[in-house]
């Protein structure tokens, strides 16, 4: 079982998710604006959130996957405002895919970039990968700006399925050698 390390930045404390985080994760996961561009539907009940924590997040830890870290502010470490993490990328055994989500009231404040920058050294030092990849719906250019601010480079545009629909997706990558 993976015990994710606690990581800090100037503003943030990143830590493992626990079942006690269900209320604060549900608070943003039920928001249709937050769920609009991700792969999951808005949570309808707190039970939905608890099920995701148990069947996905805690399972990831059991399998050694660094996904997700809870994004919290140092002054409020018990309130989760988002999640960030990585999973092995099916299409390339030497890559991991980045995923993140953030409560709407914190969009546009650089929090996601700060959180990802905090986990990158851990990911590249502890997993046998050469690159980090990310993809997003072209309808969500803010996610692309996050990737660009991280130094990720555009690779391609393609048609992919998300939530049962085909849409234009954009694919980015960050090579370990590109780390500053």
pLDDT digits (tens, 9 = 90+) for 116-173: 999 999 999 999 999 999 999 999 999 999 999 999 999 999 999 888 889 999 999 9
- Asked if residue 45 has pLDDT above 70, the reply is yes
pLDDT the model gives residue 180 = 58
pLDDT the model gives residue 118 = 97
The residues spanned by each domain of the chain are 7-129
Sequential DSSP letters for 116-141: HHHHHHHHHHHS--SEEEEEEETT-H
pTM recorded for the entire structure: 0.95
Pick the CATH number of 7-129 from 1.10.3080.10, 3.30.70.260, 3.40.630.30, 3.40.50.12170: 3.40.630.30
Helix 111-126, helix 141-149: angle, nearest 10: 50
pLDDT digits (tens, 9 = 90+) for 46-60: 999 999 999 999 999
Q: Under 8 Å CB-to-CB from 105, ≥6 apart: which residues?
A: none
Nearest by Cα to 123 from 66, 43, 77: 66
Mean pLDDT, the chain, whole residue set: 95
Block residue for tokens 């803010």 = 142
């Amino acid at each position: 079982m993976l015990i994710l390390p606690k990581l800090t930045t100037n503003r943030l404390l990143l830590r493992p998710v626990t079942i006690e985080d269900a209320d604060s994760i549900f608070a943003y996961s039920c928001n249709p604006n937050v769920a609009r561009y991700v792969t999951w539907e808005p949570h309808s009940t707190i039970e939905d959130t608890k099920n995701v924590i148990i069947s996905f997040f805690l399972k990831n830890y059991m399998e050694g996957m660094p996904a997700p870290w809870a994004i919290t502010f140092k002054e409020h470490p018990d309130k989760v405002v988002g999640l960030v993490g990585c999973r092995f990328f099916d299409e390339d055994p030497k890559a991991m895919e980045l995923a993140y989500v953030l409560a709407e009231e914190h969009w546009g404040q650089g929090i996601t970039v700060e959180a990802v920058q905090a986990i990158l050294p851990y990911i590249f030092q502890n997993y046998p990968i050469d690159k980090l990849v990310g993809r997003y719906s072209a309808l969500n250019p803010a996610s692309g700006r996050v990737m660009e601010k991280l130094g990720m480079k555009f690779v391609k545009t393609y048609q992919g399925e998300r939530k049962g629909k085909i849409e234009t997706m954009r694919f980015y990558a960050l090579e370990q050698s590109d780390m500053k």
